[in-house]
Amino acid sequence: MIQELIKAFILIFIAEMGDKTQILAMAFATKFPVKKVLLGIFLGCFFNHGLAILLGSYISTLIPINTVQIVAGFAFVGFSLWTLKSDDEEDEDEKQKSKFGPVITVAMAFFIGELGDKTQLTAITLATDAAYPLAILCGTVLGMIVTGGIGIIIGKKLGAKIPELTIKIVASAVFMFFGITKLYQTVPKEYLNLQNILMFIVVISISVIIIIKPIITKRREGQESVFIKKSRELYNYYQQVGENIHHICLGTNKCGVCKGDSCVVGNTKSLIKYGLDESESMKLDVSIIKEKWLKKGYNKELTLKSLRLTLVIIKEDPHNNQYKNIQEIRKNLEMILLGKKVEQMNDWQGYIKSLLDIDETIARSVLNGINN
């Protein structure tokens, strides 16, 4: 069983290094968080290779591979145009999207992209004489995830150094190249006449111009995209609160040895560090914060200042997924300042009422600083 798994892994790994799906992983990595891209790759490849292994060589008799390849080609062209979409437009739609939107998008791309591809055909071939089909499935999916992961690492490294518009254009070009290549190879030759090709080029060109024009206009006007502006604001926030939290703790002379995450300050430092590194929520166990470490001395003035900074960031959109870490930081700061925390911040007015109920004097001090 292990031999079959290793064999499947090696074959897929070799086949996919530098292949289109690895480049697709790089492209998706410039747009979505790493965990969601990897989960999407896993789901897409799991169902694709699972289908191949279950149906074996009979898959082509159920769905003509040529038809599948044509659908995949148009799908890649659609992904190309969608990649160019303005971040401002995406931000408007953000609340309407499922939090698993990126996962489904990546999964669909990989599922469709692998239909009829050499890796799916490899999975079919390996499954025909396999003693343990499940081992073949595990090996092929693992091979896809590893090669995709390598692509993601490269994509993230490039994303940190290349301008946003350049990333959009390159990622879009990757999708467009594979889409057009797939269509050229699979569309019946009688349809590949000059008239149809010119019509396709005109439609795509007009679509690209319409989509990319607002981005270019904003660049000329010196406007930042919502994505860039929000990223800078979050980075500045984490930097400022990180500096404050370092001085909020009055040192080990108050409690002896540093208690790490079991101390509210140490817990907050971990949240800040993760926010700076990943821009995603960190799953810290807040229950490990010991009650006795809340009672030691803290710099309340800096705590007050940090809570104000935190509330300014989240007050307009407390349910934003980007603010999960910051909501936990808010709770920790409230515990230092008030001895209690507001567990849920559903809306600003409700939060103010909860804060006033805990300690009206401190609450008014916090709110006055924000209003001023």
The predicted-structure confidence for 108-122, as pLDDT tens digits, reads as follows: 888 877 776 667 767
Q: How far is residue 102's CA from residue 143's CA, in Å, rounded to a whole number?
A: 21
Q: What is the dihedral of CA 115, 119, 123, 124, to 10 degrees?
A: 50
Tokens of residue 127, six digits: 């499954």
25 and 152 Cβ atoms separated by less than 8 Å? yes
Residues 6+ apart with CB under 8 A from 166: none
Amino acid at 204: I
- Judged by DSSP in three states, 94 sits in helix
Give the pLDDT confidence score for residue 285 in this predicted structure.
47
Work out the percent of the chain whose per-residue pLDDT is above 70.
69
Q: How far is residue 206's CA from residue 209's CA, in Å, rounded to a whole number?
A: 5
The DSSP bridge partners found for residue 298 are 249
The predicted-structure confidence for 354-369, as pLDDT tens digits, reads as follows: 989 998 888 888 888 7
Q: How do the domains of the chain map onto residue ranges?
A: 2-220, 226-371
Q: What is the DSSP letter of 96?
A: G
- Judged by DSSP in three states, 192 sits in coil
The predicted-structure confidence for 85-134, as pLDDT tens digits, reads as follows: 765 554 444 444 444 577 888 888 888 777 766 677 677 766 765 677 88
The predicted-structure confidence for 47-71, as pLDDT tens digits, reads as follows: 988 887 776 545 445 667 677 678 7
Sequence-ordered alpha helix ranges (H) in the chain: 2-16, 20-29, 34-55, 59-62, 65-83, 87-93, 101-114, 118-128, 133-159, 164-186, 194-220, 226-248, 264-278, 300-314, 324-338, 348-358, 360-371
Q: Is 56 left (phi over 0), alpha (psi -120 to 50) or beta?
A: left
Write down the residue that tokens 């690492």 correspond to. Answer: 153
- Assign 3-class secondary structure to 285-297: CHHHCCHHHHCCC
Q: What is the dihedral of CA 212, 217, 222, 226, to 10 degrees?
A: -50
208 and 83 Cβ atoms separated by less than 8 Å? no
pLDDT under 50 in the chain at which residues?
Answer: 57, 59-60, 90-99, 279-282, 284-293
Q: How far is residue 252's CA from residue 326's CA, in Å, rounded to a whole number?
A: 26
Q: What is the DSSP letter of 223?
A: P
Give the pLDDT confidence score for residue 80 in this predicted structure.
79
Give the pLDDT confidence score for residue 293 in this predicted structure.
47
Q: How far is residue 282's CA from residue 223's CA, in Å, rounded to a whole number?
A: 31
